[in-house]
Amino acid sequence: MALMESIKQKARSEKKRILLPEGTEERTVQAVAQIQSEGIADVTLLGKTDEIQAVARKFNVSLDGVTLVDPEKDKDFSDYVATYYEMRKDKGVTSEKAEAMMKDTKFYAAMMILKGRGDGMVAGAISTTGDTLRPGLQIIKMAKGISVVSSCFIMEVPNSNYGDHGMLIFGDCAVNPCPTAEQLAAIAVSSAQTAKSLCGMEPRVAMLSFSTKGSAKHELVDKVVEATRIVHEIAPELNVDGELQADAALVEKVGQLKSPGSPVAGKANVLIFPDLQAGNIGYKLVQRLAGAEAIGPICQGFKYPINDLSRGCSVEDVVSVVAITAVQAQNL
């Protein structure tokens, strides 16, 4: 896993403050020991202090240098309740509801980042993707110029020459169920940025469909064509082509035949799926059938980085996602 090693190395070069709101979760606490000893980030665990300490004792983990925050006992609790109320009162949030929301460590962590007490957050070992991302969507919101938060996976396919020696970016495989053409274009631009900033790739972006360059007519194809047009408009410097079938995107001979002269067809390294069904199924098939390493989902487009763990994650996964989040924070 040369890529993960280089991401960890980069994280160490300028340490960021990463918040872990699932502070009493066992894999998270064990990961903290490794993150600290490898110097990957400065971490804060959120939760009831005595419960966090009990888990640390159980696994013989030192919490030296780790910041512990119990929202309900924190000095800023009432300030954060008031801020959340102001942000959400037009959505029907009462002050009682705001207080209840700030007792949720994920919402509290998002507010800590907004207030400058952290650079990024990682959760999801015991929460769904929706519950992990919602605090970010409501409190942290999107980076300037980004219209939608999305996600991608770094896929490392063994013994393959597709993409960059088997490395490809797949987006969006985890967040937007049914993106519009505008959102699909934003997903493409964000995924290309992630390819560049995390993997050092020179992105060649394929907008995937079941049609290549008009070979089929359908409104689903029209959406991908329109998304491609928008990418050309908003990111004219980006190498992008669409609509392309997966083989036209990846296989040199097929690409040359179906989209001659394209800077992308036959050599794409960033694949943009037309919706979440295709993206989620696509990455899982490549992971299982081709034995690919799937790193992610890596969330992209937030003003400050938030990443979602799988509930089946290992301690090593938590360490890796913290390193990725730290590097995203460096790149802001």
Among 54, 62, 65, 130, binds ligand ACO (CB under 6 A): 130
Q: Can you spell out the DSSP letters for 100-122?
A: HHHTSHHHHHHHHHHTTS-SEEE
The token pair at 83 is 């801020």
State in angstroms the smallest separation of the CB of 219 from ligand ACO. Answer: 22
122 vs 174, beta carbon nearer ligand ACO: 174
By C-alpha distance, which of 315, 252, 293 is closest to 125? 315
Among 30, 176, 190, 269, binds ligand ACO (CB under 6 A): 176
Report if residue 149 touches ligand ACO, rule: CB under 6 A.
yes
Report if residue 260 touches ligand ACO, rule: CB under 6 A.
no
Burial class (CB in 10 A: 0-12, 13-18, 19+), 88: middle
Report if residue 24 touches ligand ACO, rule: CB under 6 A.
no
Report if residue 175 touches ligand ACO, rule: CB under 6 A.
yes
56 vs 113, beta carbon nearer ligand ACO: 113
Site for ligand ACO in 266-285 (CB under 6 A): 280
4 vs 142, beta carbon nearer ligand ACO: 142
Phi and psi angles of residue 129, each rounded to the nearest 5 degrees, phi first: -55, -45
State how far the Cα of 116 lies from the Cα of 17, in Å rounded to an integer. 10
CA 307 and chain centroid, separation: 5
Among 15, 97, 117, 134, binds ligand ACO (CB under 6 A): 134
Report if residue 138 touches ligand ACO, rule: CB under 6 A.
yes
Q: Residue-wise over 65-84: b if at least 16 C-beta within 10 A, else e?
A: ebebbbbeebebbeebbebb
Report if residue 205 touches ligand ACO, rule: CB under 6 A.
no
Instruction: Count the site residues for ligand ACO by CB under 6 A.
Output: 16
Q: Are 278 and 220 in contact (CB under 8 A)?
A: no
Alpha-carbon separation of residue 262 from 104, 216, 240, 252, 254 (angstroms): 49, 19, 9, 11, 12
State in angstroms the smallest separation of the CB of 297 from ligand ACO. Answer: 5
Report if residue 180 touches ligand ACO, rule: CB under 6 A.
no
SS3 for 291-310, per residue? CCEEEEEEEECECCCEEECC
Report if residue 133 touches ligand ACO, rule: CB under 6 A.
yes
Residues that bind ligand ACO (CB under 6 A): 91, 129-130, 133-134, 137-138, 142, 148-149, 174-177, 280, 297
